Chain A
Amino acid sequence: MTARQQHALLALTHVSRVHGTGATEVRALRDVSFEVAPGELVALMGPSGSGKSTLLHVAGGLDQPTGGSVAVDGTDLSSLGQAERARLRRTTIGYVFQDFNLIPALTAEENVALPGELHGLRSGEAREAARAALAELGVADLADRFPDDLSGGQQQRVAIARAVAGERRLILADEPTGALDTSTGEQILRLLRERCDAGAAGVLVTHEARHAAWADRVVFLRDGVVVDEADAGLTGLAGMTGAR
């Protein structure tokens, strides 16, 4: 085990994910291994259907690998039951989606407080944590608005607040800027970068090379296989064309 693996908050080891059997078999991930350490933001790039989203779902315990293992904060997810994996998503892992995915029936603050309330925190406690997270992301004034009344950038900030609220340390972002204009997208990525600099581990799935530049490392996926892995600074734009 390397030092990086030892300290990794997320460690995927020889992970594969096969959907269906026989003629309908689809190998979404094949022997994928990589780690993300605290303070690190890893960009995951690849063309459509390369397995990026599947990898993110597997990493967060929403989906189960058919081979290999996924460890979050040193805990092998396959050793956990469904309820314990759910618990991990309430306490350790935060998801950010391309289309924000806020629950329309809840206000911004309630959306952010939801994991805490589901975890059984007192309503006041969960809301306090939510307000803190919203303030950190600069949207404290939007706390009482419903998602439908927020712009895309505002919604995504709230979604990130939901992903980081309550000291969660692994942020899994699936094209968080895909539905945003360029400058708003940059702001969102800056926020993610800041969270990672503050000690969180981040995985950023993206199509765009300039977004990958915010990452410490870039992992390239194609047809479910890691084809390249490089430090973001070094890659520059190498392989970006392939990713596109």
Chain B
Amino acid sequence: MGAWLRGWRPLLRLAWRDVRRARARSALVLALVALPVLAVTTALVLTATADVTGDEAPERRLGAADARIRVEGLARVGQTADPDRGSAFGEGLRDDLTLAGVGDVLGREVRGIEWESTELSVLVDGRGVRAAGEWIDLRDPLTTGLATLDEGRLPEAPGEVMVNRALADRGPGVGETLTLVDGSTLEVVGVGEDAESRAFPHLWSPQRPDGVPEAQGTTWLVEAGPVTWDEVRALNDRGAFVLSRAVLADPPSAAELHPEVSDGEADDALVAAVVLIVVMVLIEVVLLAGPAFAVTARRQARTLALMAAVGATPAQARRAVLAVAVVLGGLAAVGGVVLGIGLAAALLPFLARWSGSYPGPFDVPWALVLGVACCGLLAALLAAAAPAWLASRADVVAVLAGRRGDAAPSRRSPVLGLLLFAAGVALAVAGTRQDSYGENWVALAAVVCVLGMVLLVPVVLGLLARLGARLPLPLRYAVRDAVRHRTRTVPAVAAVAATVCGVVALGISTSSDAAQSRETYTPQLRHGEAVLVASEATPEQWERAEEVLRAELPEADVSVVTGVPAPTGEGDVHVAYRPPATSEDTWLLGGVGSTLGTTDVVAERIPAALRGLDAAGRARGDAALAQGRVVVFTDEPVEADRVVVTATSYDGRSGEEEVLADEVTLPAAYVVVAEDGGTPFAVLPPASAEELGLPVATTSLHVAGAELDRDRERAVSEAVAATLPWSHLYVERGYFADDFDELVAWVLGALGAVLMVGGTLTVTLLALSDARPDLATLSAVGASPRTRRAVAASYALVVGGTGAVLGALVGFVPGVAAAVTLTRDSYAGPQQVVGPFVEVPWLMIAVVVLLLPLLTAGVVALATRSQLPLVARVD
């Protein structure tokens, strides 16, 4: 081992000197390796810092208290060190734990204050704005750290309130009055900020205003000395979640946790995705840095031959090239990490200002960062591997005699390439047949295909050279030179191809995904109509909301939809319908919709808002309702004129069930609806609903005939929120592409273009610097400056064009496979499979394959110096 390491010393010394001599080339490799390391390190540090976990900044959640204890009436709970990761166990509910009870469990005296949090709506300019209400006395020292006071004073009495800047900027400031949606008012005495979030409107008051509904559960901040993990477990057994300062600082091991509560295992799919991304980035970096190492190895050829003459073995020659990778990779990894951490530190204040929440203490996840640095080093080593291998096989005598000593190309690697490519195709096909995780198979297939393609690039270039005999001189020269210098051309072409492959694959899969969304889009309402739904609203609130709608949308036709209210936290009523003489689990509808806020409409006519049934069906329904029959919707015709209805109510607080109607048979009419209609189960005449004992209320307001653009939609929503805080206005606009998806596609496309152009430029410039003697000879025999530009541009065209065509072809494999996997299970209706969708974005592919290489060639032609200093041919 010692001798082996000693063997590296002169090689590393040689590499270090070489790196310093060839500054431009070294800088190129350094940048290629260091930039991804820097970017990932910055992202890791920012994420780790933004993520306030464990014992980082406990005062933001605990204030100065020893623990935060919360009871939600559950019988028994389990949790990790952080109660946000916890769950309830056992049956039943219990509401008996008090602050004194906490003291009993801990066996010592406990001082605590109650802290209630609810969301509420406040009125700003007559419109409803949601805000977080913290009902706690901030003057108590236990709350130190939860919030800061920036202006005015802390609220002392009920009716006094401190608001945060986000709310103060929109509404009342210190000395002014804040109005809640119920009309009650609070006096703003201070402006401050929450320790965790500042983007969302916040307000603090010692006591919850009367108009604001009571929060579920109770929270205390307690002063009780360090609360140990055993004590946390004891409190868990009494149904309390505990955030303990002592436990955060010294969290329990995984073995001490309840088996059903874990610290969150890594998501397999996520891990697979991350691994794939790392592999693809690694491949890209390796391919981009490869040409630089190929040139390095060529420049070193004579040194290597000399070393061989003085007794270096082929392995030592190989290591001499790898040593350059060790030096550059090491420098790039260390530099990337250091700069990445520095950049993160520099960006942190901007990020904090922009994100609306406060980052935690500066946090460098060293293990991950080290892994990233190792990946950087590995990328450099892999990039140098092929040039090193070829350099070690060079003909020493030929090199010493001043000739090129390239070894013959391997005959095995194209075969291996074909095998790998075939394996990739097989994997992709297999992926499309998987029931789950098929997309992981396809992603793996993409990697295998790209690896196979890399090995096939020399063959393609060879074919091109053979076809090149008839090309004009600049192109012919470029093709021949590209083939002659395989070691630098192949990785560059492969880098471009890999990039294009990725872009094409992603392009096909995203546009197919979009095609699926477009084709299978199910409108909830007729185009242009809107519906307002709300939960837990009183009849008066509904009336006022209706008035607001009519006032805001005078041209619209507003109608009230009544029915059995949708489930809420308080409970729900479930109604089941089946034709007589069928089993209990008979389903009449494949898809049920609650667009109108209910699945059981109660009305005397079929609501105009209902879609999915034709005029005849509507007429039949209206007639049946007029006769007092229940209109039951169904996918398939049903021959029956009665329906068996069962209704059950469930109390969310007590967990008790009550049967309202047990197998009651009523006269009915069955109306067939379109499969994707999203219709409710049934429309019941009011008399039938009463007979069944069903609760009936307004469930939504339907709006037709209004021009609702996005601005008007927001204005109407906020106006309604002033009376109906928990409401949602849905406007049917048909299918439209998700802005975010489009943005992602554009960013990926731009990144691909940058990589592609960058890769082409890199290798073209390297090639041109390498080919200076040849170009000088060309000039000497009378080539015009224009010829020189044309040769340079041709070089870019050969590399970019070959890579783009090859990559696009290969990209179809994972692209189509991913499209099939993602869109195979597309349903137009419950039984109607319409997938898979495969849509090829031809325009994008044309841009990538035709336009970008031409563009790059143009840039190269413009950037090439037409005057060349005369270079003597020196070996």
Interface of A toward B, CB cutoff 8 Å: 53-54, 57, 60, 62-63, 82-83, 86-91, 93-95, 97, 101-106, 110, 113-115, 117-123, 162
Q: Contact at A83–B315, with CB atoms within 8 Å?
A: yes
Q: Among residues 70 to 126 in chain B, which have CB atoms less than 8 Å away from a CB atom of chain A?
A: none
CB-CB under 8 A from A115, the residues of chain B are 310-311
B13 close to chain A: CB less than 8 A: yes
Q: Among residues 392 to 406 in chain B, which have CB atoms less than 8 Å away from a CB atom of chain A?
A: 396-397, 400-401
Question: Could you tell me the dominant secondary structure of chain B's interface residues?
Answer: helix
B309 close to chain A: CB less than 8 A: yes
CB-CB under 8 A from A122, the residues of chain B are 6
Q: Contact at A95–B309, with CB atoms within 8 Å?
A: yes
Known: A95-B310, A105-B303. A118 touches B17 (CB 8 A): no
**Cβ contact of B308, chosen from A62, A87, A106, cutoff 8 A:** A62
CB-CB under 8 A from B314, the residues of chain A are 82-83, 86
Docked complex Cα distance between A91 and B315 (Å): 17
Q: Contact at A89–B310, with CB atoms within 8 Å?
A: yes
B211 close to chain A: CB less than 8 A: no
Provide 23 A-B residue pairs closer than 8 Å at the C-beta atoms, listed in order of the A residue.
A62-B309, A62-B396, A62-B397, A83-B314, A83-B315, A88-B311, A89-B309, A91-B311, A94-B310, A95-B310, A103-B306, A104-B21, A105-B14, A106-B10, A110-B10, A115-B311, A117-B10, A118-B10, A118-B307, A118-B311, A119-B311, A122-B6, A123-B6
Q: How far is the CB of B231 from chain A (nearest CB, A)?
A: 62
7 tightest A-B contacts by CB? A90-B311, A89-B311, A105-B17, A120-B3, A117-B10, A86-B313, A115-B310
CB-CB under 8 A from A120, the residues of chain B are 3-4, 6-7
Docked complex Cα distance between A90 and B303 (Å): 16
CB-CB under 8 A from A95, the residues of chain B are 309-310
Known: A53-B401, A114-B10, A118-B10. A86 touches B308 (CB 8 A): yes
CB-CB under 8 A from B18, the residues of chain A are 105
Interface centre among A53, A62, A121 (most CB of B within 10 A): A62
Q: How far is the CB of A153 from chain B (nearest CB, A)?
A: 19
Give the total of B residues in contact with A, Cβ under 8 Å.
28
B463 close to chain A: CB less than 8 A: no
CB-CB under 8 A from B311, the residues of chain A are 86-91, 93, 115, 118-119
Q: How far is the CB of B398 from chain A (nearest CB, A)?
A: 10
User: C-beta contact mask, B468-483 vs A, less than 8 Å → 1, else 0?
Assistant: 0000000000000000
Docked complex Cα distance between A87 and B302 (Å): 19
**Cβ contact of B310, chosen from A53, A83, A90, cutoff 8 A:** A90
Q: How far is the CB of A45 from chain B (nearest CB, A)?
A: 19
Interface centre among A57, A90, A97, A114 (most CB of B within 10 A): A114
Known: A53-B401, A63-B397, A110-B13. A103 touches B307 (CB 8 A): yes
Docked complex Cα distance between A94 and B9 (Å): 22
B316 close to chain A: CB less than 8 A: yes
User: C-beta contact mask, B17-28 vs A, less than 8 Å → 1, else 0?
Assistant: 110010000000
B8 closest partner in A (C-beta): A117
CB-CB under 8 A from A91, the residues of chain B are 311
CB-CB under 8 A from A94, the residues of chain B are 310
B407 close to chain A: CB less than 8 A: no
CB-CB under 8 A from B10, the residues of chain A are 106, 110, 113-114, 117-118, 123
Known: A86-B312, A87-B311. A101 touches B306 (CB 8 A): yes
Q: How far is the CB of B511 from chain A (nearest CB, A)?
A: 53
Docked complex Cα distance between A119 and B4 (Å): 10
Q: How far is the CB of B740 from chain A (nearest CB, A)?
A: 52
Q: How far is the CB of A18 from chain B (nearest CB, A)?
A: 14
Known: A62-B396, A103-B14, A106-B17. A114 touches B307 (CB 8 A): yes
B392 closest partner in A (C-beta): A82
Q: Contact at A162–B396, with CB atoms within 8 Å?
A: no
Docked complex Cα distance between A97 and B310 (Å): 11
CB-CB under 8 A from B306, the residues of chain A are 101-103
User: C-beta contact mask, B227-253 vs A, less than 8 Å → 1, else 0?
Assistant: 000000000000000000000000000
Docked complex Cα distance between A193 and B534 (Å): 106
B18 closest partner in A (C-beta): A105
Docked complex Cα distance between A157 and B9 (Å): 25
A120 closest partner in B (C-beta): B3
Q: How far is the CB of A98 from chain B (nearest CB, A)?
A: 10
Q: How far is the CB of A12 from chain B (nearest CB, A)?
A: 16
Q: How far is the CB of B408 from chain A (nearest CB, A)?
A: 13
Docked complex Cα distance between A29 and B21 (Å): 40
Docked complex Cα distance between A104 and B10 (Å): 14
**Cβ contact of A118, chosen from B21, B312, B401, cutoff 8 A:** B312
Q: How far is the CB of A47 from chain B (nearest CB, A)?
A: 17
Q: Contact at A103–B303, with CB atoms within 8 Å?
A: yes
CB-CB under 8 A from B17, the residues of chain A are 105-106
Q: How far is the CB of A7 from chain B (nearest CB, A)?
A: 24
Docked complex Cα distance between A101 and B306 (Å): 7
Docked complex Cα distance between A97 and B402 (Å): 13
Q: Contact at B400–A97, with CB atoms within 8 Å?
A: yes
CB-CB under 8 A from A90, the residues of chain B are 310-312
A84 closest partner in B (C-beta): B313
CB-CB under 8 A from A104, the residues of chain B are 21, 303
Given A114-B307, A117-B6, 10 other A-B contacts at CB below 8 A?
Answer: A62-B308, A83-B313, A86-B316, A87-B313, A89-B308, A95-B309, A97-B309, A97-B400, A110-B10, A113-B10
Docked complex Cα distance between A138 and B321 (Å): 33
Docked complex Cα distance between A90 and B313 (Å): 10
Q: Contact at A118–B309, with CB atoms within 8 Å?
A: no
Q: Contact at B401–A117, with CB atoms within 8 Å?
A: no
Q: How far is the CB of A54 from chain B (nearest CB, A)?
A: 8
Docked complex Cα distance between A119 and B310 (Å): 10
Known: A123-B6, A123-B9. A118 touches B310 (CB 8 A): yes
CB-CB under 8 A from B13, the residues of chain A are 106, 110
CB-CB under 8 A from B308, the residues of chain A are 62, 86, 89
Q: How far is the CB of B405 from chain A (nearest CB, A)?
A: 11
Known: A103-B303, A123-B9. A57 touches B397 (CB 8 A): yes
B21 closest partner in A (C-beta): A105
Q: How far is the CB of A168 from chain B (nearest CB, A)?
A: 9
Q: How far is the CB of B261 from chain A (nearest CB, A)?
A: 57
A96 closest partner in B (C-beta): B309
Q: How far is the CB of B299 from chain A (nearest CB, A)?
A: 11
Docked complex Cα distance between A54 and B6 (Å): 33
Q: How far is the CB of A244 from chain B (nearest CB, A)?
A: 22
CB-CB under 8 A from B307, the residues of chain A are 103, 114, 118
Q: How far is the CB of A182 from chain B (nearest CB, A)?
A: 25
CB-CB under 8 A from B3, the residues of chain A are 120
Interface centre among B7, B311, B396 (most CB of A within 10 A): B311
Interface centre among B3, B6, B396, B401 (most CB of A within 10 A): B6
Q: How far is the CB of A60 from chain B (nearest CB, A)?
A: 7
Known: A53-B401, A82-B314, A103-B14. A60 touches B309 (CB 8 A): yes
User: C-beta contact mask, B297-331 vs A, less than 8 Å → 1, else 0?
Assistant: 00000110011111111111000000000000000
CB-CB under 8 A from A110, the residues of chain B are 10, 13
CB-CB under 8 A from B316, the residues of chain A are 86, 118
Docked complex Cα distance between A97 and B396 (Å): 14
Interface centre among A57, A103, A122 (most CB of B within 10 A): A103
Q: How far is the CB of A242 from chain B (nearest CB, A)?
A: 24
Q: Among residues 1 to 57 in chain B, which have CB atoms less than 8 Å away from a CB atom of chain A?
A: 3-4, 6-7, 9-10, 13-14, 17-18, 21
Q: How far is the CB of B562 from chain A (nearest CB, A)?
A: 89
Q: Contact at B309–A101, with CB atoms within 8 Å?
A: yes
Docked complex Cα distance between A120 and B9 (Å): 10
Docked complex Cα distance between A143 and B861 (Å): 47
A103 closest partner in B (C-beta): B303
B7 closest partner in A (C-beta): A120
Docked complex Cα distance between A118 and B318 (Å): 13
CB-CB under 8 A from B310, the residues of chain A are 89-90, 94-95, 114-115, 118, 162
B314 closest partner in A (C-beta): A82
B19 closest partner in A (C-beta): A105
Q: Contact at A118–B303, with CB atoms within 8 Å?
A: no
